[in-house]
Amino acid sequence: MDFNDTKTAFSMKSMTDLRNAQMLFTAIQNPVLVKSLKYMTNLALKVNLPVAWVVKPTLYRQFVGGESLQECEMIVDQLRTYNIKSVLDYSAEGGSAIEDVSRAFNETMRSIEFAKGKSNIAYTVFKPTSMIIGSVLSKATVDINTLNEVERAELDNFKTRVTQLCQRAYDNDVRILIDAEHYATQGIIDTVAETVMRKFNNKRAIVFQTLQMYRTDRLEYLKYLFNDSKEYNYIPGIKFVRGAYMDEERALASRIGYPDPIHPDKYSTDKCYDSGLKFVMENIESFELFSGTHNYQSNMLLADLIDAKGLRRDDQRVFFSQLYGMSDNISFNLAAEGFNVCKYIPYAPVRDVLPYLLRRAEENTSMAGQTGRELQLIREEIARRRG
């Protein structure tokens, strides 16, 4: 398997797609340009200026599937022809009013219904903080006794919403991913995730808990879930990611005065991630796994572990995943070799998904190696097609 096989990697892309991606990733390499774009976009949003005409042909086209579930169908169907499944992620961010919560809850319910019976949609997903008003989660994680009556009621509502989503997923036989959040809110989310896994994962994993492996405590937490599943007779669904909030987490830990929860360097994070993969694969009879990473070594390791274990490459207990618009060289080459692969496909109206898009641009700017690899592979494929 060769992650540098650009012919396979970009088999779904036209030459126009490749040129657009080349221009976008070249721009993303410039941190000044990205910061300026973020400033101007946020300013335009505040004064209600139209922004779709700038964003939709560039960032939106590269990283977002569409404005609605129905608009994503063409991409979902295209990916399926290359043996790649999809995860449709309603990625509207911002706002903490009950209207925002209701909108996110109802859209997630629609995504579960949309995925029912569709073999080309592997999972549904939701962001826990979109299911609760305000800062109740962080307050409850620090000290639940500090919540007032209204906040306690909202925490109960949060638990009810999560349970209802998981119940609908269970009823429709659709797997559902619970995304991870900041350290300050993750404690309550862990507790709720354990409760719904115990309830709905008795025969197979319907609910998946996300572990951010840049956290120093997540490997031990994985082992805790393994032991907990034996006690309560369920199959943990485990989604591994490296993590999304490193700088914010370190700044918050320094400001408040608790120990930094993040591994000190990339080597330690990579080691923790790969140790998690090994532990799950050693005990795959007790787990289901979703590995969400763009790291070459971790993807190759998991492929090797599947083969070494003597599993079918399309064993439904193990999935690889990368974000839509990134690392097609990993996704398409894994899929071509018969492994289970899915793309995380965000969708939402342009204005609602802008915070996600700006964060994705900033992340790519800070990940010089990732962006450089994307550009190099795109250039190689353009040159190959030109002959």
Residue 94 has pLDDT above 60, yes or no: no
Q: Within 10 A of 57 (CB to CB), how many other CB atoms are there?
A: 12
Q: How high is the pLDDT of residue 237?
A: 98
Contacts of 331 (CB under 8 A, 6+ apart): 84, 320, 322, 341, 343
* The predicted structure's pLDDT at residue 27: 81
Q: Taking the CB of residue 96, how many other CB atoms lie within 10 A of it?
A: 14
Q: What is the pLDDT of residue 122?
A: 96
Buried b (16+ CB within 10 A) or exposed e, 366-383: eeeebbebbbebbebbbe
| 199-215 pLDDT per residue, tens | 999 999 999 999 999 99
The rounded percent of the chain whose pLDDT value lies above 90 is 71
- Maximum alpha-carbon separation in the chain: 69
pLDDT over 80 at 364, yes or no: no
Q: What is the pLDDT of residue 154?
A: 94
Statement: residue 366 has pLDDT above 60? no
Higher-scoring residue by pLDDT: 26, 282: 282
Higher pLDDT, residue 125 or 253: 125
Kindly give the residue spans of alpha helices, DSSP state H, lying in the chain.
6-9, 15-28, 31-46, 52-55, 61-63, 69-80, 98-115, 136-143, 149-172, 183-200, 218-232, 246-256, 266-282, 296-308, 328-336, 350-366, 368-386
Give the whole-number percent of the chain exceeding pLDDT 70: 91
- The two structure tokens encoding residue 220: 């031990």
What is the mean pLDDT of the segment spanning 331-356?
91
pLDDT in tens, 157-181: 999 999 999 999 999 999 999 999 9
Q: What is the pLDDT of residues 22-78, one digit of tens each?
A: 988 888 777 777 677 776 766 666 667 666 656 777 778 888 999 999 999 999 999
Choose between 51 and 332: higher pLDDT. Answer: 332
Above 90 in pLDDT, residue 320?
A: yes
Mean of all residue pLDDT scores within the chain: 91
Decide if 209 contacts 241 (C-beta within 8 A).
no
Domains along the chain with CATH numbers: 1-62+354-387 (no CATH), 65-347 (3.20.20.220)
Can you give the pTM of this predicted structure? 0.92
Q: Is the pLDDT of residue 95 over 70?
A: no
Neighbours of 295 (CB within 10 A): 18
- Where does the pLDDT of residue 96 fall: very low under 50, low under 70, confident under 90, or very high at 90 and above? low
Q: What integer pLDDT is reported at residue 168 of this predicted model?
A: 98
Give the count of alpha carbons within 13 A of 27, CB side only: 17
| DSSP label at residue 283 | T
